[in-house]
Structure 1
Amino acid sequence: MSPMELESDPSTQPTSETASEPPPLVLNPDPSGTQQHPHLQSEIQMSEAGLADNGVEHRHRAKPAWMNRWRLFLFILGLLFLCAAVLGLIYYRHQRNNQRNSQATPCLSPACLRASARLVASGDPSTQPCSYFSSRCGSGRLSPDRGGGQGARGLPGHPQVQSEKAALPERTGTGHEGGGGGLTERKLLHRKTVLLQYLREILESKDRLNGSAAEKAKAFYNSCLDTASVETAGVEPFLALIQKVGGWAVSGQWKQADFNSTLILLMRDYNTFPFFKLYMGTDPRDTANGTLKRYIQIDQPNLLIPIEWNSRTNKSQVKAQTLRPFLALCQRYLSFLGATAGSSMIHAGTFMSLSSELAVSAAPPRYRRARGQLSQRVSIRELQSRAPAVDWLRCLQAVFHPLRVAADDLVLVHNLPYIAHMSPIIGKWLNKHELSSSGPLQTYMVLNLLHTLIPALDARFYDTARNLSVALGNADKAAPRWKYCVLETGRGLDPVLTHLLGERVAHREAGELILYIFYSLTAKLRERQWTHQRTLQSVMEKIESLVPRLWIPKELHSEAELDLLFAKVVFEQINPLLDALPGSHVSCGLLCFQVSLNGSFFSNYVQLLSLWQSRRSKPLMEQTEKTDILSVSPFVLDNKLLIPMGMFPPPFFHPTYPRAMNYGGIGFLIAKDILHLLLPRIYSQSESVRAEGECVWANFLNLTEKDSRAGASQWKAQQEAWVQYSALQIALQAYHQSLKQHPADTSISGLSYTRLFFSSFSQISCDSDPEFMPLEPSFLITAVCSKFNMCPSSLQCLSKAQQRLLQNC
């Protein structure tokens, strides 16, 4: 018998399952007590009529005691019949509600079919549910870096847990992609990774996207994936680019161009800032006053040579242990670019020497903040007098074109001592140094340009850089190529990706879910006991003044606007024949070479850098906030509580999903994030909130036999315990409220609404959110089901004593 059939069969379905749906309308008895069962009423009337026929002579006599007892008996019997009828009606309505739940229309959309497959792969909670919900994520599926070994103990004492423990397969995989013998795919997906994966699916779709701008984004992404063309092209594209920026002594064709002209070209067209960084932003002093005026910002550069801060001398210095591997890195780069052994030693040495001199005046932000060296307002005219080696007005006019920049305009400088120190160093190496004829400043700028373009060059450059990172102990796991390509596509084409995402997010369904979650949250907070009534009023006024809504960026352009905005951008596209090639590009001979020439990622990447840099001045002119398409957490702006679109990709949310699945997944995450935003105001001002957090955390430690943690970590754990425990209640209550307004819902895999809600919550918590989660999903489910009569009895897997402990929270 299927799970759906079990729930619709009254002989097998527990009556408490009915509490998982909104309570049906109950026909209450007449409050006056006069309404009675019709048969009982007629019997009473007949008895009274018979008594009247016995004669007038009995009229003044006292009624026998047995007659009074008989009338009392009939009255009580009538009340019993009436109560039985009402209870029967309630039971019938509940059963019919149950049957409607169990016979919900199955969701057969493509998104639901994929979700169903994921649920099956995760384990079916409807089979032996106590074992499923009381073990770590159902079957100990977590990879070792989530701590699944310690968390898979389950709730002790339950016989089903003990009997099933031995049957669970042992998972000992490495948890990395492509690893054999274990997990072949990383299960723990960060929210941003889920969003990037969704954007990847859009860009890799075989269907033609609407609009030329969308097709250009797709063309760039596909050229980025074509690593075979990058390897085929080798270093030749970069050598050709060097000639466009004035040549280089290493290649023997150095034109000895003007220093400032080369510097402007690198910053304006190639997003390369060798000596200082340029960007725009607000002044923190203005932001505090609500002003959004933007300034050109000038900061120290990201120096390529590894340095460390000496807190004793308050100066940066080059790490002695990194000198040899960094010198080897520079020499290998130069050899790849065609330099001889002797030439590479000279140019690598001058690059390291110049870098070391610049590093002396570089300082970390905390030191500059303490010295008042951050956000110093300086006019461009004054900056020119402080650092005359750079033509500041010309540089800023070129980089931020078409913005009008004048000598008296104010800019924000974030390390004026560095800028003043940099200028004489440039002058020394430009005019008076004994190696000036070999172009040391040009070498320094060319190697910085090389660093910018390494992602578009063959694997030798990337592998060399990674070897240095390993030698320094900083090597991180390399991101998959697809993820890097999505991020790079978003650097210059983020309005296009924002448009594509906005097209696919169901604004009405997402907005409705946000409202239900927010109103359920405010209702729960009103139930709390606050330290002072004035505090309650202040906090609730602040919360209720917020307007929750889906964040749709102001610069969400239409398709026509995007096509016009990117009309001059032409990315070289991959030859369509490439899609027909089976497998890799290895043995396709001449065809692959032709395809590589037709789709050069290097030329596309260079154009992307220019495009990205040209858009830097746009927020400065329009006075608008830059859209962050990768935003995946709620935030407050003025009186608006904004939930970004990036939180709503599958598998978190889909408009065709059953609402139970959406509320159990993204509904929980939204509730949790909002509580985190409000936590400082709530947790410190509500006695009942603190007591509930302590109680839930203590029960978790007791039921899972974990060791208590002391100090600040335990305080934070108690706060997070309250947040997650409350967020799950809020999401469940919000779903029930939505069911009252829209009783119909669909189902997946034959699961009832409540089971589907908890399955979605458990899956999202186990697979998709590697944030701080001290409470295991299984514990949260059993805790909520123990305290609130909203779950099937089969999910209430604790003993009576354990239930009483949780009910006290």
Structure 2
Amino acid sequence: MFDGGTAGGGAHVKCKRTEDATHRETHNARMGETPIQLELQLSVKPLSQPESDRGLHPPPLLQLPHPTEDPPQVQQQIQLQPEQQQQQQLSESNSEHQAKPVWIKHRRLLLLLLGISFCAAMIGLFYYMHHNLYTKTNNHTGPVTPCLSPACQWASARLSSSADPFTQPCDYFLFTCESDRLTLDGGGRLRGQGIPGHPQNRMEKSTSPERRGKNEEKGGEREDKTMNRKALLLQNLRGTLETNNRPDGSAVQKAKRFYRSCLDTRSLDTPGAEPFLTLIQKLGGWAVSGHWNKTNFNSTLGLLMRDYATFPFFNLYVGKDPNETATGKSKRYIQIDQPDLLIPIQWNSKTQKSEAKTETLRPFLASCQRYLALLGALPGSSMIHVGTFISLSSELAVAASPLQHRLTKGQLHQRMTIKELQRQAPAVDWLGCLQAAFHPLALSEDDHVLLHNLPYIVQMSRIINKWLNKHELSTSGPLHTFMFLNLLHTLMPAMDSRFSQTAKNFSVALGNTDREAPRWKHCVLETERGFDSVLTHLLSERIAHREAEEIIQNIFSSIKSKLHELKWTEQTSFDLVMKKVQSLVPRLWTTTEISSEAELDLLFSKVTVSANSYFSNYIQLLSLWQKRRSKLLIEQTEDADILSLSPSLLGNELLFPMGIFIPPIFHPTYPRAMNYGAMGFLLAKDILHLLLPKIYSQSETVHAVGECVWAHYLTVTERAGRGGAFSLSAAQQQEVWVQYSALQVALQAYHQSLKQQPVDTSISGLSHTRLFLTSFSQINCDSDPFREFMPMEPSFLITVICAKSNLCSTGLQCSIKTQNSLQTC
């Protein structure tokens, strides 16, 4: 037994030493040698098995006699040993020759099995390494480096107090936006109310004090629960204006002093109406106060336009002609529009005319009487002035028309010279008034202007002439009363709170129940109107330009890749879109004109700001505003709009405003997963909306993805196959595709950034992918203009994107439906 075991062990050792040779021999055509066959046979047998199990028996020569046998028998066996040995050798030889066909028969199968096993092992090893790398890249389930910056600590506290989409998926993804979560207002200031090329769009500065705040203060009731992007930006600017931790230049000091004087409402109430009455006397007085010099109508109108940014009979803007913009021209023009009338009006679709709202006339009359009473008018005389004011306002209202009607009639951007305009509407001294409004610019009657409602301008001129020629009213000066009540509304934010309270009461009487915006927000907006370049400079100092540019470039690069993945309906559409996209240069929208505080100090050197008189400061503000308007008319460059919140196209540049790169949405010390999950998604969504407004008709993918995501939603909400389910419209499918694609683009951009810089930090110990998706969930209620087309809460997209295998390290198990059973969209 000892010898037999040694022989088997020796064969095994020999096989081990010849493994490499065996692999080489698998490629040979002839391998029939018996030693190799034996080596292979022995090598595949487990050494732990007993000999009997291995099927190997020692030859009879090696078998010892049993000790109970007699000596004669033993002697007989010894004598017969040579003969038996010969017979044994012959037997072994015969057995060996008989075994050869069996080995040859199974040799190829054994070698094939060995080859398959080797290949399977290599494939398994490769898969393991790739899966390990993919998991680390996408999930980062290993140890993560915590971010310990103050911004990260604040973010960690906020995340810990928010609902976690990975622990309560069903409740979380089906929640409503009324819950306590950060919500973002994706729209910027809505200027121009849809007029293409209008100065109140995102590329131009507004000159209307009321319009600028209407959309910003909308939704004030929910401010205690939620925050939108505009509110976040204003909070940031508020912190800048209220911080005094460094020596500031004179321009910065003036901006902060203006802001503080605006907050001091007590100083506004002390003088009452006296500041306004004093100003009226400087303008020649009016009949209401009892001292009127019967000043010329056009001279008074010119003064109101030049010094007080008040436009009673028409509005003035500065902007481009969209017909020229399409050809690459950037010249700006004076644009003349119908005014924002104080009297409430409505459009009568039957008569195709506007008219004063009958039900609002009584409260409107009461508010006008209250204004005159606060200004010291006697009750008997005030009724005459209020009556003529309402009558004149009603006549002007009939000539006005809504934007959509004017757009249908082709009344927008009608070009003519000032000389021709004078001929069409002679009651107004157009050249004199426009020269006053844009002082010190030199204008001539041959300069072109753009009109947005020429029929109104013509009718307005006739109405003014009629009232100027009413001799029986010459002592009451109805046109001056009309102009000064408009001036009152311009200056009301800087006057006694009794005036603003009267305006608020009238608003409530009209059915407006929105809560008034906090005073600090109003003061930040007013400060920006006059000191925008100062605030832009301060914000630029606090923005992480390098990090912002990096995420912009990565998101835009991922969007270009996404466009190649779409299934386009026709090659022409794809070529046009890609040509447009390839020509764009995305960048952060900054102002290069003002580069230092010294230049700012020089620019505001003639501005005086009092610490105790907000009324006089407000007059300075209106003067600054007028200078900004004149500057827009002569310059070709675009100043960065600090309050803009959406990317804009300017020539071949795709501009991203600085005001969106602020906490809590973005911070340079955040983990990149957090920045890409929130800011990356918002950027991608805004770009897709801007560049692909008609993508539904251009790509079949939009419909397929929209339906797939909707199928996920119906399954999870148990509405599939029930009558409560409804099909998505084209606009809804497009919005679902936009938001789902934006999330995919942001995630792809984040992975690309990890390839460039593999190291990233984390918050609260979350894996990077989970932190990315959790950060995205914090902006779930983004209230952009397209929100009405989103049929579900955007956070539900997390369940759809996590249906992709190996993406989310933590399975989103929902009590309604397991997400792993859903298809990948």
Q: In which range does the TM-score fall when normalised by the shorter chain?
A: 0.7 to 0.9
Aligned to 1:186: 225
Q: Distance in 2 between matches of 1:111 and 1:477?
A: 31
Query: Equivalent residue of 2:629, what SS?
Result: coil
Aligned to 1:671: 684
Q: Is 2:637 the partner of 1:624? A: yes
Aligned to 2:196: none
Within 5 Å, give how 1:722-741 maps onto structure 2: 722-741=737-756
Query: Equivalent residue of 2:739, what SS?
Result: helix
What displacement does 1:78 show? 5.9
Q: Is 2:643 the partner of 1:643? A: no
Among 486, 491, 499, the residue aligned to 2:537? 499
Residues 572 and 137 of structure 1: CA distance in aligned 2, closer, same or farther (over 3 Å)? farther
Contact 1:142 1:766 in 2 (8 A): no
Residues 96 and 119 of structure 1: CA distance in aligned 2, closer, same or farther (over 3 Å)? closer
Q: Is 2:769 the partner of 1:794? A: no
Aligned to 1:610: 623
Q: Distance in 2 between matches of 1:729 and 1:372?
A: 42
What displacement does 1:558 show? 3.5
Contact 1:664 1:761 in 2 (8 A): yes
Contact 2:139 2:768 in 1 (8 A): no
Query: Equivalent residue of 2:802, what SS?
Result: helix
Among 139, 157, 163, the residue aligned to 1:123? 163
What displacement does 1:731 show? 1.3
Q: Is 2:369 the partner of 1:331? A: yes
Aligned to 1:340: 378
- Choose 319-328 or 75-84, whichever is displaced more: 75-84
Contact 1:134 1:778 in 2 (8 A): no
Contact 1:123 1:139 in 2 (8 A): no
Contact 1:633 1:643 in 2 (8 A): yes
Q: String of CA shifts for 1:375-414, please: whole Å, max 9, x gaps.
A: 3333333433444433322222221112111233332333
What displacement does 1:792 show? 0.5
Aligned to 1:757: 772
Q: Distance in 2 between matches of 1:442 and 1:641?
A: 47
Among 165, 173, 178, the residue aligned to 1:142? 178
Residues 504 and 42 of structure 1: CA distance in aligned 2, closer, same or farther (over 3 Å)? farther
Within 5 Å, give how 1:28-177 maps onto structure 2: 42-44=17-19, 51=35, 65-66=102-103, 68=107, 102-124=142-164, 129-131=166-168, 133-136=169-172, 142-143=178-179
User: Identity of counterpart residues, as a percentage?
Assistant: 61
Query: Equivalent residue of 1:437, what SS?
Result: coil
Q: Distance in 1 between matches of 2:182 and 2:602?
A: 47
Q: Distance in 2 between matches of 1:288 and 1:513?
A: 30
Matched to 1:695, the amino acid is C
Q: Is 2:754 the partner of 1:779? A: no
Aligned to 2:58: none
Matched to 1:105, the amino acid is T
Aligned to 2:735: 720
Q: Is 2:478 the partner of 1:478? A: no
How large is the Cα RMSD of the aligned pairs? 3.7
Matched to 1:44, the amino acid is E
Matched to 1:650, the amino acid is P
Aligned to 1:695: 708
Residues 725 and 284 of structure 1: CA distance in aligned 2, closer, same or farther (over 3 Å)? closer
Q: String of CA shifts for 1:277-314, please: whole Å, max 9, x gaps.
A: 22322233333333222222233322212233334444
Residues 40 and 214 of structure 1: CA distance in aligned 2, closer, same or farther (over 3 Å)? farther
Residues 600 and 50 of structure 1: CA distance in aligned 2, closer, same or farther (over 3 Å)? farther
What displacement does 1:233 show? 2.9
Matched to 1:242, the amino acid is I
Q: Is 2:670 the partner of 1:634? A: no
Q: String of CA shifts for 1:574-620, please: whole Å, max 9, x gaps.
A: xxxxxxxxxxxxxxxxxxxxxxxxx2211111110111012211121
What displacement does 1:358 show? 3.0
Query: Equivalent residue of 2:444, what SS?
Result: coil
Residues 255 and 120 of structure 1: CA distance in aligned 2, closer, same or farther (over 3 Å)? same
Contact 1:383 1:392 in 2 (8 A): yes
Query: Equivalent residue of 1:514, what SS?
Result: helix
Residues 218 and 138 of structure 1: CA distance in aligned 2, closer, same or farther (over 3 Å)? farther
Matched to 1:740, the amino acid is K
What displacement does 1:778 show? 4.4
Q: Distance in 1 between matches of 2:784 and 2:163?
A: 19
Within 5 Å, give how 1:315-464 maps onto structure 2: 315-430=353-468, 432-464=470-502
Q: Distance in 1 between matches of 2:37 and 2:459?
A: 123
Query: Equivalent residue of 2:145, what SS?
Result: coil
What displacement does 1:342 show? 0.9
Q: Distance in 2 between matches of 1:613 and 1:556?
A: 19
Q: Distance in 2 between matches of 1:734 and 1:799?
A: 32
Q: Distance in 2 between matches of 1:538 and 1:457?
A: 55
Among 230, 241, 263, the residue aligned to 1:203? 241
What displacement does 1:655 show? 0.8
- Choose 748-757 or 203-212, whichever is displaced more: 203-212
Contact 2:780 2:794 in 1 (8 A): yes
Among 583, 586, 590, the residue aligned to 1:548? 586
Matched to 1:763, the amino acid is Q
What displacement does 1:73 show? 7.1
Q: Distance in 2 between matches of 1:792 and 1:102?
A: 11
What displacement does 1:270 show? 0.6
Query: Equivalent residue of 1:279, what SS?
Result: strand
Contact 2:289 2:377 in 1 (8 A): yes
Query: Equivalent residue of 1:794, what SS?
Result: coil
Q: Distance in 1 between matches of 2:139 and 2:710?
A: 37
Q: Is 2:291 the partner of 1:276? A: no
Query: Equivalent residue of 1:642, what SS?
Result: strand
Q: Distance in 2 between matches of 1:89 and 1:360?
A: 76
Question: Which ranges of structure 1 fall in alignment gaps of 5 or more residues?
Answer: 1-37, 148-175, 574-598
* TM-score of the aligned structures, taking structure 2 as reference length: 0.77
What displacement does 1:98 show? 10
Aligned to 2:200: none
Q: Distance in 2 between matches of 1:79 and 1:310?
A: 81
Q: Distance in 2 between matches of 1:695 and 1:53?
A: 60
Question: Which ranges of structure 2 fall in alignment gaps of 5 or more residues?
Answer: 1-12, 26-32, 40-91, 184-217
What displacement does 1:742 show? 0.5
Q: String of CA shifts for 1:527-548, please: whole Å, max 9, x gaps.
A: 2333345544444343333333
Q: How many residues are matched?
A: 707
Q: Distance in 2 between matches of 1:92 and 1:314?
A: 70
Q: Distance in 1 between matches of 2:38 and 2:404?
A: 107
Query: Equivalent residue of 1:419, what SS?
Result: helix
Aligned to 1:600: 613
Aligned to 1:20: none
Q: String of CA shifts for 1:607-647, please: whole Å, max 9, x gaps.
A: 10111012211121113345432221223333333322232
Query: Equivalent residue of 2:529, what SS?
Result: helix
* TM-score of the aligned structures, taking structure 1 as reference length: 0.79
What displacement does 1:700 show? 1.0
Q: Distance in 2 between matches of 1:730 and 1:39?
A: 59
